[in-house]
Amino acid sequence: MTGGRPTREQLESELRFLREQVARLEGASRGSERELAASESDTRRAAILHSALDCIVTVDEGGRIVEFNPAAESTFGYAASEVLGRPIGEMIVPQGLRAAHEAGFARYLATGHGPVLNQRIEITAMRSNGSEFPVELAITPYLVGGRRFFTAYLRDLTARKTAEEALRTSEAALLQSQKMEAVGKLAGGIAHDFNNLLTVIVGYCEILELGPASPDAVRATAVEIRRAGERAAALTRQLLAFSRKQRMELIPLDLNRVVLETEALLRRVIGETIELRHELDTDLCVVKADAIQIEQVLINLAVNAKDAMPQGGRITLRTRAMKLGPDRLGAAAELPEGLCAVLEVSDTGVGMDATVRSHLFEPFFTTKEVGEGTGLGLATVYGVVRQSGGAIEVESEPGRGSTFRIFLPATTEPIHSRAQRPEARTPKGGPETVLLVEDEDLVRGLVRQVLEAQGYRVLEAAHGRAALALERVHAHEPLHLLVSDVVMPQMDGPTLARALRARRPDLPVLFMSGYSDSGSRGAATELPHSAFLQKPFAPALLARAVRDVLDAARRPGVG
Q: Is the dihedral of CA 498, 502, 504, 506 positive or negative?
A: positive
What one-letter code names the amino acid at 248? M
Q: Which fold has domain 433-553?
A: Rossmann fold (3.40.50)
Do residues 552 and 529 touch, judged by C-beta distance below 8 A? yes
Do residues 425 and 544 touch, judged by C-beta distance below 8 A? yes
| Model pLDDT for residues 485-515, shown as the tens digit of each residue | 988 888 889 999 999 999 999 899 999 887 6
Residue 531 CB contacts under 8 Å (≥ 6 apart), including other chains: 509, 510, 511, 524, 545, 548, 549, 552
| Model pLDDT for residues 143-152, shown as the tens digit of each residue | 888 888 999 9
Q: Residue 124 pLDDT > 90, yes or no?
A: yes
Do residues 277 and 259 touch, judged by C-beta distance below 8 A? no
| Domain boundaries of the chain, sorted by first residue | 11-47, 52-156, 176-242, 251-419, 433-553
User: Cα-Cα-Cα-Cα dihedral of 112, 113, 118, 119, to 10°?
Assistant: -170
280-289, 316-325, 370-379, 391-400: segment of lowest average pLDDT: 370-379
Determine the Cα–Cα distance for residues 548 and 553; give it in Å rounded to an integer. 9
| Model pLDDT for residues 328-349, shown as the tens digit of each residue | 777 777 888 889 999 999 999 9
% the chain with pLDDT above 70 = 77
Q: Which fold has domain 176-242?
A: Helix Hairpins (1.10.287)
73-77, 221-225, 466-470, 523-527: segment of lowest average pLDDT: 523-527
Do residues 481 and 508 touch, judged by C-beta distance below 8 A? yes
Burial string for 437-472 (b: 16+ CB within 10 Å, else e) reads bbbeeebbebbbebbeebebbbbbbbbbebbbeebe
Do residues 464 and 490 touch, judged by C-beta distance below 8 A? yes
Over residues 249-254, the mean pLDDT reads: 85
Confidence of residue 424 (pLDDT cuts 50, 70, 90): very low
267-276, 278-287, 542-551: segment of lowest average pLDDT: 267-276
Which residue in 552, 548, 559 sits closest to 507, CA to CA? Answer: 559
Q: Structure pTM?
A: 0.43
Average pLDDT, the chain: 79
Between 172 and 457, residue with greater pLDDT: 457
Determine the Cα–Cα distance for residues 298 and 380; give it in Å rounded to an integer. 11
Q: Per CATH, is 251-419 categorized as 3.40.50.12640?
A: no
Which residue in 146, 186, 154 sits closest to 365, CA to CA? Answer: 186
Query: DSSP states of 493-540 as a string?
Result: HHHHHHHHHTTSTT--EEEEES--SHHHHHHHHHSTTEEEEESS--HH
Residue 251 CB contacts under 8 Å (≥ 6 apart), including other chains: 288, 289, 290, 291, 416, 418, 419
Between 201 and 247, residue with greater pLDDT: 201
| Model pLDDT for residues 252-266, shown as the tens digit of each residue | 999 999 899 888 778
At residue 342, the pLDDT reads: 92
Do residues 379 and 363 touch, judged by C-beta distance below 8 A? yes
Determine the Cα–Cα distance for residues 202 and 209; give it in Å rounded to an integer. 10
Which residue in 527, 518, 458 sits closest to 499, CA to CA? Answer: 527
At residue 533, the pLDDT reads: 84
**Which CATH class name applies to 52-156?**
alpha beta
Between 276 and 261, residue with greater pLDDT: 276
Q: Residue 423 pLDDT > 50, yes or no?
A: no
Q: Residue 412 pLDDT > 50, yes or no?
A: yes
Over residues 359-366, the mean pLDDT reads: 65
| Model pLDDT for residues 76-120, shown as the tens digit of each residue | 999 999 999 999 999 999 998 999 888 888 888 888 887 788 888
Between 245 and 269, residue with greater pLDDT: 269
At residue 559, the pLDDT reads: 42
What one-letter code names the amino acid at 256? N
Helix (H, G, I), strand (E, B) or coil at 337: coil
Confidence of residue 529 (pLDDT cuts 50, 70, 90): confident
Between 67 and 184, residue with greater pLDDT: 67
